[in-house]
Structure formats: C-alpha cells, structure tokens
Amino acid sequence: MATSQMAIEEAAEFTLAEQYKTNRSGAGRWIISHFKRYWYVGIVILIGAFGNAALASVVPIQVGQAFDAILQNPPKVDLLAGFAWTIIISQLIRGVLQFGRNFGAEILGQLLERNIRHELYVSLLGKSMTFHNLQPVGDTMARATNDVREINFMFNPGFNLVIGSANFLIMPLIVAPRYHPSLVLVPILFIIGYILALWQYLGELDPITTKVRSSFGELNTRLSEALDGIETVKGMAQEENEVGLFEKNARRFRNAFVWQGDVEARFLPLLLLGLAQGGALLHSLILFRQGLLTTGDVIAFFGIISLFGFPTFVSLFAYSQVSLGNASARRILELINRETELDQNVAGSEAEMKGAIEFRDVTFNYGDTDPVLKNVSFKVEPGQTVAIVGQTGAGKTSLAKLVNRTYDVDSGQVLVDGIDVRDWQLEPLRRGISIIEQDIFLFSRSIADNISFGCQNDSQADIEAAAKAAQAHEFILDFKDGYDTVIGERGVTLSGGQRQRLALARAFLTDPTILVLDDSTSAIDSATEDKIQRAIYNAAKGRTTLIITHRLSQIRWADLIVVMRKGEVAAVGTHEDLLRTSEAYRRIFTE
Ligand code: ATP
Ligand code: MG
C-alpha cells in the first residue's frame, strides 16, 4: 500500500459507503486514529481526572488546617464546621467529576470496540481465499472477539486509571510547596523512581502479554478445529488425544498468565510508596523542629503524600491492561494488514455479461506445490452447456474457481466475454457468475433466507417459484415449518441432494449469466437423480453452464465436453467425437 492511510470501509474485494480513515502503520498510531474521532470524550476524561485529583487533595489540606485550629490556645472550635463543609462539598463535586471520567472512558471503550470490530469484519470479508485457507478460523475468532474486547478494557479501566492516577501523581508537586518549597523533594524523587520502575515493568510485561494473547489464539484454534472436525475425532476415537492436546494449550495459556502475575508481584512502586511516606514524614518533622511547619502542615503534607497510594496500587493493574490491549491491537492490525493478493480492480469493466468464457494457457497452483492446472486452454460460447469430466483430483474444482476469481491464475488468462477476469470489477463479475460448490454451505437461517441469500429483496412468491424450478418445493413443504424451517436447529439437516437443490434455487433467483455446478454427489437414488436432472436442465437454459459431473446423463446433453487429466486438458469435443477419439474419455466410462 502506497500510504498507510486506508479507508475503514474499503476492503480488497468490495467497497462500502460511509468512509473514515484509520492509520494502520502501527498499533499505537492505529488506536490513536480510532480515538481521534472522539477526542472530545478524551477532554471530558482529562477534566474529570484532573478535577478528581485536585479535589482529593482538598481533604488533607482541610484536615491540616483543622488540626492547626484546634491546637491553638484557646482552640478555635467554631472554625471546624467550615472545614467539614468544605470537605463535604468538594467531595460531592469530586463524585460528579469522577463520574464524568468513568463514564467517558466507558463510552470510549465501547465505541472503539464497536468500530474496531466493524473494521476487522469488513477487512476479513474482503480477504482472498488464499488468506482464509492459511488462517485458522479459531485464531481469527479469538482476535475478532477477545482481542477486540481487550481494546475496550485498555480504555476502561486501562487508560481511565492511567490518566486518573497520573493526575494524582502531580498533585503533591503542586500542593507541597504551599507548606515549604523544599517539600517537593520527596514527591520529585518518588515520581522519578515511579517512572523508571514503570518503564522497566512495561518492558518486562510486553513479551508476556503478547504471549498471553497468542497462546489464547492457539487455544481457540485447537478448540474450533476439534469441534469442526468432531465427526472425524469421534470416528477415529481420538477424543482422549484431542483433550490432551487441548490441555497442553490450556496449560500454556495459564503459564503465560502466571508469568504475568509473577512480574506484577515484583512491581517496585509498592516499595517506593513506603519509602516515600517514611521520607516525607522525616523531612516534614525536620522542618517542624526548625519551626518552619506547624503540626497541621505536617499532617496535611503526610496526607498529600498518601495520594501516591492511588497511582501505586492501580498502576499494577492499569498498565498490564494497557499492555494487553496493545498486544491485542497488534494482533488485530496484523490480521487487517496481512497482504491479500487479490485486489479489486476499481477501474475495471462492469459491462453487461454475455457469458463467453475462455481459458488461455492457464497454469495455477495453490501454494508452492506442483501446478494443479497446466496449460489449460478451451473456449465456451455464450449459452453453451459444458461438461467438465475427469478423475478425482484432476483439477476440475480448481478450474471452476478461477472463473469468478476465487483464486487468480499464476500464468495465462481466464477471459469472460473476451476480458481478462482481473480486468473486471469484482462485484459485476461475481454477480454474473454463480458457483454451486461441491460441498454446499448453508447458513443457520431459514430455508427461505438461504435461498434468497444472493439477492435479499425477493418476495416469498419469487422464492417459491425458484424452489419449484429447482425441484425443491416438495421436500421443503415436508418440513413442519416449510420455508421458515431453520437449518441446523432442532435437528434439521439436509441431505446432499437437498442441499444441491437449495443451491440451484438460489441460482434461479440470482439469475447469473454463467452458472458453474460442481456436482459430485454421486450416489443418489434414481427418483432424486431424476429430479436433480430436471432442475439442472431448467437452470442451464438460457445461460452459459459449466457442469462438473460424473453422470453420463448430464454429460450426454452437453454441447461441449472438457476432459481433464492430472491438471491438463486431455480432450475437448462432443460426446460422440470423444468416444471415437479420446482414450482418456473412454476410460472414464469403463472404470
Ligand atoms: P474431485 O473430483 O475429487 O472433486 P477435482 O478434479 O475437483 O477432484 P481439485 O479439487 O481441483 O480436484 O484438486 C486438484 C488438486 O489440487 C488436488 O491435487 C488437490 O490436492 C489440490 N487442491 C485442491 N484444493 C486445494 C487447496 N485449497 N489448497 C491446496 N491444494 C488444493
Ligand atoms: Mg472437485
């Protein structure tokens, strides 16, 4: 990226309206750029924090004066009520200011959590498939939920207490000289010691909080994989093994936390506070002996020094919260910034799609492995039905995924209507192309919602018409709730053939120019087979259709057949041609 500024609503593959910029060049800068939108809340927090600290020092000042008043001869008892009222009123105001600080920090934390979650979500949806193939879902989930939450905590209680306590830190510096100028000595020494100790503490904490966050990600990865693959885990009787692996990760997470606790326990300012109180008492008593301070001054000064107690005690917790938040920010940003190879071509074509497809000497692989497709070339006219056949692993699914840029070719070109797919805008390209995957994914929403997934505004009548065309209407009505049946709830799951027909219904609604059907559901009874057949036949009418299939019935009525073999095109032609000329083709039917 040329500049580190990037619009939050802008992802590689699509663009949303309503934009604002965040600075993604570093975790700190990124958080600040999020905070900047709400700078005024920051001001409320600052005013609240300063007022709170200033009014906290009113208490020891008034107590000191009260002592001086009663130690006079005769004691000036009539003054005491005034001191008491000053304390009461000042503390009431302090309560309001404290509320402003706390409430401001809470609002800020929540706003930032929401915005960051949104930014991350937009970014994740815009990432290429290569990214998603390599990034474990569990880890992404950990970042999208807990790490985002940590940033909330970083503001409240984290920064809230940091700013609150920093103001308590400077109060003794401001107030002490009113008793004697030399009394700033102990506060200055304490603050220097405090800052040095904090510096050392944060340095030591940084790798630990990073470890805490990353071990949580690993823990989650393992959990989500075990749950995702629960059928395999059970089928292979690997439960104990998986539990063992999970425990190992859980232990690692725990150890990271214990390590953090260890560092926290050795936090130096606790010791410094004791020294400061002793030193302050000594210093003020010396001045008292020289007649430079009154008894009330000594008491007040000691009370003022006790204000250091707040920064000392909360810093332990507040700074580890900030440190955790920082580690989380780095993890989220790392995910957002990770390269996505596939880039939206904003200036690309958005023409009406006619449906011609051409593969021109295409070579492709998923990583650094041997090419999955080698020198693939063939041409499809608009409206044709093309069957792609070949043994398992021949590269049929991979080939289909290049058409809508789920992946990009390594060399060669895939052209739609004579335009390289990389020179199309993604949105119109993908709107024009529907791919019905080999393993159809259904969302845990109602059947109607699943059918209308590609175009959310369709009416119930449209949905039913599509379901009828896809031969799905009957089995949908067999469910008690019909179209409102929620998939995945109360044991509603669908068979392969049913899923396929739902996906076909989806395609009828989106009405794509190009339909790709990865149909490898092999073992179905003949009645269902017949239904699917009819559904596919309906769907193929009036559009370019690529069917990946093993079924002879489907292959027969295709205008063109592409025979794949080990990533290469072994033959192209009609059924009759190929039976005569292609050995590879004949072999498919004799297996
Ligand atoms: P089938 O008939 O079994 O569906 P296919 O012809 O569709 O097979 P592909 O899924 O295209 O085969 O796979 C072709 C090759 O690419 C295989 O060797 C497979 O191991 C590899 N492959 C497929 N998907 C990926 C992936 N996401 N990452 C890495 N390699 C992959
Ligand atoms: Mg396949």
Q: What is the pLDDT of residues 201-218, one digit of tens each?
A: 999 999 999 999 999 999
Contacting residues for 534 by C-beta, under 8 A, at least 6 apart: 471
Query: Which protein residue has the closest C-alpha to ligand 1 atom 1?
Result: 392
Range of the domain at 285: 13-337
Beta-carbon neighbour count of residue 294 at 10 Å?
Answer: 17
Does 330 share its domain with 372? no
Domain assignment present for residue 6? The answer is no
Q: 396: Cβ below 6 Å to ligand 1?
A: yes
User: Within a domain: residue 5?
Assistant: no
Nearest ligand atom owner, CA of 564: 1
Q: Evaluate: CB of 394 within 6 angstroms of ligand 1.
A: yes
The predicted model scores a pTM of: 0.76
DSSP strands (E only) in 337-418: 357-364, 373-380, 385-390, 411-416
Tell me, yes or no, whether 343 lies in a domain: no
For residues 547 and 518, give the distance between their C-alpha atoms in angstroms, rounded to a whole number.
6
Last residue within a domain, chosen from 305, 337, 369? 337
Question: Which domain-ending residue is among 302, 337, 372?
Answer: 337
Question: To test the ligand 1 pocket, which listed residue (128, 131, 365, 398) has its Cβ within 8 A of the most ligand atoms?
Answer: 398
3-state class (DSSP) for residue 562: strand
Spacing, Cα 565 to ligand 1 middle (Å):
12
CA of 397 to the centre of ligand 1 (A): 7
| Ligand 1 probe mutation, 359, 396, 516, 551, most atoms within 8 A of CB | 396
Does ligand 1 come within 6 angstroms of the Cβ of 365? Answer: no
In this structure, the answer to whether residues 254 and 384 fall within a common structural domain is no
Closest Cα to residue 564, out of 437, 396, 435, 413? 396
Give me ligand 2 centre to Cα 359, in Å.
Answer: 18
Contact, 307 vs 172, CB < 8 A?
yes
Q: Ligand 1 test: best mutation among 134, 366, 369, 522, most atoms within 8 Å of CB?
A: 366
DSSP-based three-state secondary structure for 470: coil
Same domain, 208 and 156: yes
165, 56: one domain: yes
On whether both 109 and 26 belong to a single domain, the answer is yes
Ligand 2 centroid–CA 395 distance in Å is: 7
Q: Which pairing describes strands 568-573 and 21-23: parallel, antiparallel, or unpaired? A: unpaired
Of 108-112, 338-342, 557-561, minimum mean pLDDT range = 338-342
Among the three residues 287, 302, 337, which one is the final residue of a domain in this structure?
A: 337
Ligand 1 close to Cβ of residue 521 (< 6 A) = no
Residue 174: closest CA among 304, 269, 75: 304
> Same domain for 293 and 426?
no
Is 111 part of a structural domain of the chain? yes
How high is the pLDDT of residue 15?
59
Alpha carbon of 408 to ligand 1 centroid (Å): 15
Q: How much distance in Å is there from the Cα of 549 to the middle of ligand 2?
A: 9
State the average pLDDT over residues 312-337: 92
- Asked if residue 474 is part of any domain, the answer here is yes
Q: Are residues 324 and 373 in the same domain?
A: no
- Residues written for the chain: 591
Atom number, ligand 1, closest to the C-alpha of residue 400:
11
Distance CA 560, CA 563 (A): 10
324 and 404 part of one domain: no
Alpha-carbon distance 463 to 448, whole Å?
7
Based on the domain organization, do 242 and 370 belong to the same domain?
A: no
330: which residues sit within 8 A by CB, 6+ positions away? 27, 210
- Alpha-carbon span 413 to 123, nearest angstrom: 27
- pLDDT grade, residue 6 (50/70/90)? very low
Asked whether residue 348 is domain-assigned, the answer is: no
Query: What pLDDT does 508 receive?
Result: 87
Structure tokens, 382: 């608009």
Q: Give the residue-averaged pLDDT of 139-145.
A: 93
The burial class, CB within 10 Å (0-12 / 13-18 / 19+), for 461 is exposed
CATH number (domain holding residue 105) = 1.20.1560.10
Cα 220 from Cα 46, distance rounded (Å): 38
- Do 378 and 504 lie in one domain? The reply is yes
In the chain, the number of structural domains is 2
pLDDT, tens only, 476-534: 999 989 999 998 876 678 887 888 889 889 888 888 999 999 876 555 667 777 777 88
